[in-house]
Structure 1
Amino acid sequence: MIAIINYNAGNTRSVENALSRLGYTCTITSSLQELQTASKVIFPGVGEARSAMKVLKDTGIDKLLPTLTQPVLGICLGMQLMCDYSEEGDTRGLGIFPIVVRHFPPSQRVPHMGWNTMSNFQSPLFTGITESDDFYFVHSYKADVSPYTIATCDYIEPFSAAINKNNFYATQFHPEKSGDVGMQLLKNFIEL
């Protein structure tokens, strides 16, 4: 079973629809038991870090998620919450990635929104995807480039477009809104 985490801050239906187009069935859930027994877990996100983290704490997902051993994919806010800390709402994250999420500098127009290419692919997540392919981004906060970076994007300065640590993968962009290349990335994740 593929589980999509329901924590009132995710674009869960968009992810479900994308997976359905690929021929996969999934469950949108906040059940700790279903998340623990799923073969793959997707942690989508649209919203604000502090209020999203409160829901994760209230449901116990904050304690469970870092202990999962199956492949987990964080998307956008999901990626940011997987990090140690976000400047958005002065929010302590899940600590899966020892990374600080920062607001884009004042010199940059935010949100960073639209289609961008990426570079420095370093993961089977990008099998069949080239550096000339565009992905859809919409965010005002970013994770700096780190040893966990598996793809970078440049918006005035480079930032982590995707990160990986063991069984945890995360993307700042929205694969479910990125057309055929996003579908390829989701397929690659499911086939890990």
Structure 2
Amino acid sequence: MTQADVRIPAEIAAHLVDPVVYGSDKLHETYTWLRANNPFGLAEPEGFDPFWVVTKHADILDISRQNELFRSGERQTTIIDKKGDAFVRKLTGGSPHLVRSLVQMDSPDHIKYRLLTQSWFMPPNLKKVEDRVRTIAKGAVQKFLATGGPAISLPTWPWAIPSTWSWTSWACRPRTRTVCCA
């Protein structure tokens, strides 16, 4: 198989990097086409570095087990154009990542950091905090609905659950926290 055999047509590749497509039915149509015609393909949209598009679950699982071959730390893990990538690298002294989380880490760091928090997210430990998370989520939804629903400002809503959860996880009283969402 050659690179030409796996190349995604330019029109389809362009859909993968177009924010307008993500708000329309065109995105579903694009991935439906990819799954049927090119489930493991190379996208080369104008203005972007080439990237692989993997649409089948079995392939994704296979890739996720090959960490040395499919690395995350060397390139952006989100779709960003070449200008954006250059800007981020300038800000970070060469790193492609504004934030270094587990998703952006390769061996040996990934496993070390993962082991630090892995037990927190195991089913028995999640069960211990389930009631608290549900209470926080219900409160956030009630607050959202009280504002009239979709008219709520974006800086307020998306952070309601994660910021409350983060602060309560660290045993801070809700009235003492300060959350800045800009």
TM-score interval, normalised by the smaller of the two chains: under 0.3
The structure with the largest alpha-carbon Rg is 2
- Using CA pairs under 8 Å that are at least 6 residues apart, name the structure with larger relative contact order, 1 or 2: 1
Which structure: greater helix fraction? Answer: 2
TM normalised by structure 2 equals 0.28
Question: So what's the TM-score if we normalise by structure 1?
Answer: 0.27
